[in-house]
């Protein structure tokens, strides 16, 4: 990993709430991708009944974020939902809407 990709991942985690985010959501297995951050969650059930256990936040060419929510099993990877062109200040709200997990008290 390059230092730039690590900086992008660290910035995304900070914008999600840093250590408070980790404590509130139980997120683990953080992985810096080339242009974003990927991590696992304990299985969360959204208001519509869909389950989410993996999230990927990617910095796009417009300097905004794309957030993808997945349900990963040993047999398949299912995309639950995607949010495109999310502003940094809206990342926590988008995460809560996509997973049903709160990022702060």
Contacts for 65 with CB less than 8 Å, ≥ 6 apart: 12, 36, 57, 58, 59, 85, 86, 87, 88, 91
Q: Is residue 55 part of a domain?
A: yes
Number of domains the chain is built from: 1
- Domain interval for residue 12: 3-99
Note whether 41 and 25 are within 8 A (CB). Answer: yes
Q: Is residue 31 part of a domain?
A: yes
Q: Is residue 50 part of a domain?
A: yes
Task: Report the alpha-carbon distance of residue 41 to residue 49 in Å, rounded.
Answer: 16
Q: Half-sphere exposure of 101 toward its Cβ, with a 13 Å CA cutoff?
A: 26
Q: Is residue 12 part of a domain?
A: yes
Question: What is the reported pTM?
Answer: 0.90
Give the pLDDT confidence of 63-90 residue by residue, as tens digits.
999 999 999 988 989 999 999 999 999 9
Q: Is residue 105 part of a domain?
A: no
From first to last of the 105 residues of the chain, give the pLDDT tens digit: 688 889 999 999 999 999 999 999 999 999 999 899 999 998 778 878 889 999 999 999 999 999 999 999 889 899 999 999 999 999 999 999 999 899 988
């Amino acid at each position: 990993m390059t230092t730039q990709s690590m900086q992008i991942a660290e910035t995304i985690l900070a914008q999600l709430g840093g250590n408070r985010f980790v404590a509130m959501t139980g997120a683990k297995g953080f992985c810096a991708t080339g242009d974003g951050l990927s991590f696992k969650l304990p299985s969360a059930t959204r208001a519509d009944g869909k389950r989410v256990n993996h999230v990927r936040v990617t910095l796009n060419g417009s300097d905004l974020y794309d957030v993808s929510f997945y349900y990963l099993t040993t047999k398949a990877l299912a995309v639950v939902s995607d949010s495109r062109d999310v502003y940094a200040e809206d990342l926590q709200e988008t995460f809560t809407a996509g997973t049903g997990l709160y990022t702060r008290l």
